Structure 1
Amino acid sequence: MKNKIIITATICLLSFASFAQNTNDFFLKADSFFKEYVVNGKVDYSKINADQAQLDEVLSLAEGITVSKNDANVYQAFWINAYNLSVIKGIMDNYPLNSPLDKKGFFDKTPHALGGKNITLNDIENKLLREAFKDARFHFVLVCGAIGCPPLISKAYLPKTLNNQMTKQTKVAINGSFLKVNVKKLRVEASQIMEWYKGDFTMNGKNEIDFINLYRTEKIPADYKLSYFPYNWKTNAL
């Protein structure tokens, strides 16, 4: 009996060590990839097209990793990076692409082998992340490959720094191109993201202006009228 317990414990430890090594390798290689090919929020697709080996390598790692919601930071960081990498892969598979919408089913039909699943980009965003964690900050770190998206950072999202990274990117967007403020007309225009996912920004009895002011340096007065400006679906190419 004692020997069985020792063997079982050893197997568990080896499995954990293997998992930790795989996830660490994934985050390291994802970080290296983003640093190499992302500049000021834009992606150097032409450079990736010349040699896709680095992209294929990190996505190959992602295919064999299984993460659990019980370790929320690892889970969220993995799926955020996996989503952003898969958007880039989808654009490269159809390169050159003027807009991700030019490829039918880009978000809702094309499967990606990630985390032991065959899954679409929409399902990563809506089922694995938004539905599970109810956090509007996902909209500022999941980058759909278009100029209208918040900027892609030139590093990976990491479990230890995830919360700070998500808050930082939300602040960057809210204090940047996500909003257009007209003081004379007492009006603020927001990205259509806020219109499409209104429920995410109005949880717990709050409204959109309340959410904006959580992250905006120069607060928006409560009496400002909110509208939305058109989304730019042109590819976020460098």
Structure 2
Amino acid sequence: MKKHHIILVIILVSIKGFSQDVNGFFVKADAFFNSYVNDGKVAYSKIQNNQSGLNELMKMAETVSVSKEDAEVYQAFWINAYNLSVIKGIIDNYPTNSPLDNAGFFDKTTYRLAGKNITLNDIEHKLLRAQFNDARFHFVLVCGAVGCPPLINKAYMPNTLDAQMETQTKKAINGNFIRVNTKKKRVQASQIMEWYKADFTMDGTTEINFINQYRTEKLEGKYKLSYFQYDWRINKQ
């Protein structure tokens, strides 16, 4: 076992109430993402040629037990489970040009996870967004398309979850998620911000306020907001 993963085991085991099945899942997921994800892109061809690691992870995820009361473990598990299930869905239809090329990819295909038969939409909308008011989910749940914020090459971990979500949100807001024309005072955002407007305007805030919360170079003055078209091409290496 690599030194990196030995350290992860020690950290995870030390967390109070951390069950052994979840522990093993996080460690294996971390190794999987590290092996097959680079610069936000997934090596689908390599995974297809050797599916044992992915299948082992999906099998482990079937019997994991998590509770909303242990919010960090719960959220980290479901974020990783979502991202792995997207990869599984693409591999099951590979080669494919887009997740949208496969009927029911998000709302009909089910995965056996934590004792539930569940779709990708159920994970995102019912288990995460509906339970926790946090727009940052949109920057860590990766739908398998170029238009998504990039997938990281490690698992989301309970003890680092908040920092990881914060980092990915900042990267997106200061990266390709928005396009700014300071001269014309115009900003274009990913359609994610249009589709989930309510998530980015909670507590009376505005989309511009949300952007400025994470953007290094603030949008000063009155900016006109519009949205650019989502890129649904597969996020393959």
TM-score bracket, shorter-length normalisation: over 0.9
| Corresponding residue number in structure 2 for 1:227 | 226
Cα distance in structure 2, aligned partners of 1:170 and 1:95: 29
Task: Please give the TM-score of this superposition, normalised by the length of structure 1.
Answer: 0.92
Q: Give 4+ residue runs of structure 1 displaced > 6 Å after superposition.
A: none
| Corresponding residue number in structure 2 for 1:168 | 167
TM-superposition CA deviations, 1:104-143 (whole Å, max 9, x none) = 1000000010011000000000000000001000000000
Give the number of equivalent residue pairs. Answer: 222
Question: How many angstroms does 1:99 deviate by?
Answer: 0.2
Alignment of 1:92-131 (within 5 A): 92-131=91-130
Matched residue of 1:228: which SS? strand
Question: How many angstroms does 1:78 deviate by?
Answer: 0.1
Query: Does the alignment pair 1:148 with 2:132?
Result: no
Change (3 A) 1:18 1:72: closer
Alignment of 1:151-230 (within 5 A): 151-230=150-229
Matched residue of 1:132: which SS? coil
Question: How many angstroms does 1:222 deviate by?
Answer: 4.0
Matched residue of 1:81: which SS? helix
Matched residue of 1:190: which SS? strand
Listed as ranges, the gaps of 5+ residues in structure 1 are 1-16
Kindly indicate whether the alpha-carbon contact (under 8 Å) linking 1:19 and 1:65 is maintained by their aligned counterparts in 2: no
Question: How many angstroms does 1:221 deviate by?
Answer: 2.1
Task: Please give the TM-score of this superposition, normalised by the length of structure 2.
Answer: 0.92
Question: How many angstroms does 1:185 deviate by?
Answer: 1.2
Query: Does the alignment pair 1:90 with 2:89?
Result: yes
TM-superposition CA deviations, 1:129-160 (whole Å, max 9, x none) = 00000100000000000000000000000000
Bigger-Rg structure (1/2): 1
Identity of aligned residues (%): 68
Code of the aligned partner of 1:24: N
Cα distance in structure 2, aligned partners of 1:101 and 1:222: 38
Alignment of 1:65-80 (within 5 A): 65-80=64-79
Cα distance in structure 2, aligned partners of 1:91 and 1:60: 17
Query: Does the alignment pair 1:26 with 2:31?
Result: no
Cα distance in structure 2, aligned partners of 1:110 and 1:124: 12
| Corresponding residue number in structure 1 for 2:7 | none
TM-superposition CA deviations, 1:64-111 (whole Å, max 9, x none) = 112100000000000000000000000000000100000010000000
Matched residue of 2:131: which SS? helix
Cα distance in structure 2, aligned partners of 1:116 and 1:55: 18
Question: How many angstroms does 1:20 deviate by?
Answer: 1.3
Kindly indicate whether the alpha-carbon contact (under 8 Å) linking 1:209 and 1:222 is maintained by their aligned counterparts in 2: no
Code of the aligned partner of 1:198: K
TM-superposition CA deviations, 1:47-68 (whole Å, max 9, x none) = 0011000001111100111210
Question: How many angstroms does 1:183 deviate by?
Answer: 1.3
